[in-house]
């Protein structure tokens, strides 16, 4: 199977600033940050996008969200932060390996563009 970009980062084939890792998930700094703090957290076992997750992924998805909150705490985003999942072309998804954006360090406007 061809590895996704984020699998290559997990395998250390592509360098990234990794901020958290356990058996199931990996968190690393986004290469093109949209905020002072911009980290992506991904399941190591790829799911293309949230719209293709199944009931079998329930535990992993819960773990991913809980670890996203832990990473936000580790990043010291006391004033708040935003978790974002882009799904498909209209959602702005560019990498077909499910990832949660952790964004913070500035006030984030709503609604998004």
Residues within the interface to ligand 5GP (CB under 6 A): 5, 14, 16, 28-32, 40, 86, 92-95
DSSP code at position 76: T
In whole angstroms, the minimum distance from the beta carbon of 104 to ligand 5GP comes to 14
Among residues 29 and 63, whose Cβ is nearest to ligand 5GP?
Answer: 29
Catalytic residue among 38, 97, 99, 101: 99
**Is residue 63 annotated as a catalytic residue, yes or no?**
no
Among residues 51 and 55, whose Cβ is nearest to ligand 5GP?
Answer: 51
In whole angstroms, the minimum distance from the beta carbon of 36 to ligand 5GP comes to 14
In whole angstroms, the minimum distance from the beta carbon of 69 to ligand 5GP comes to 19
Where b means 16+ CB within 10 Å and e means fewer, 54-76 reads eeebeebeebbeebbeebbeebe
Three-state DSSP string of 77-108: CCCCEEEECCCHHHHCCCCCCCCEEEEECCCC
Among residues 26 and 77, whose Cβ is nearest to ligand 5GP?
Answer: 26
Active site residues: 99
């Amino acid at each position: 199977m061809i590895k996704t970009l984020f699998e290559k980062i997990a395998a250390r084939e592509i360098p990234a600033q990794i901020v958290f890792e356990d058996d199931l998930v990996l968190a690393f700094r986004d290469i093109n940050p949209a905020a002072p703090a911009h980290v992506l957290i991904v399941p190591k076992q790829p799911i293309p996008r949230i719209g293709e997750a199944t009931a079998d992924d329930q535990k992993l998805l819960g773990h991913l969200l809980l670890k996203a909150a832990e990473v936000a705490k580790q990043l010291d985003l006391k004033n708040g932060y935003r978790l974002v999942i882009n799904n498909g072309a209209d959602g702005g998804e560019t990498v077909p390996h499910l990832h949660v954006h952790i964004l913070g360090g500035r006030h984030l406007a709503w609604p998004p563009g």
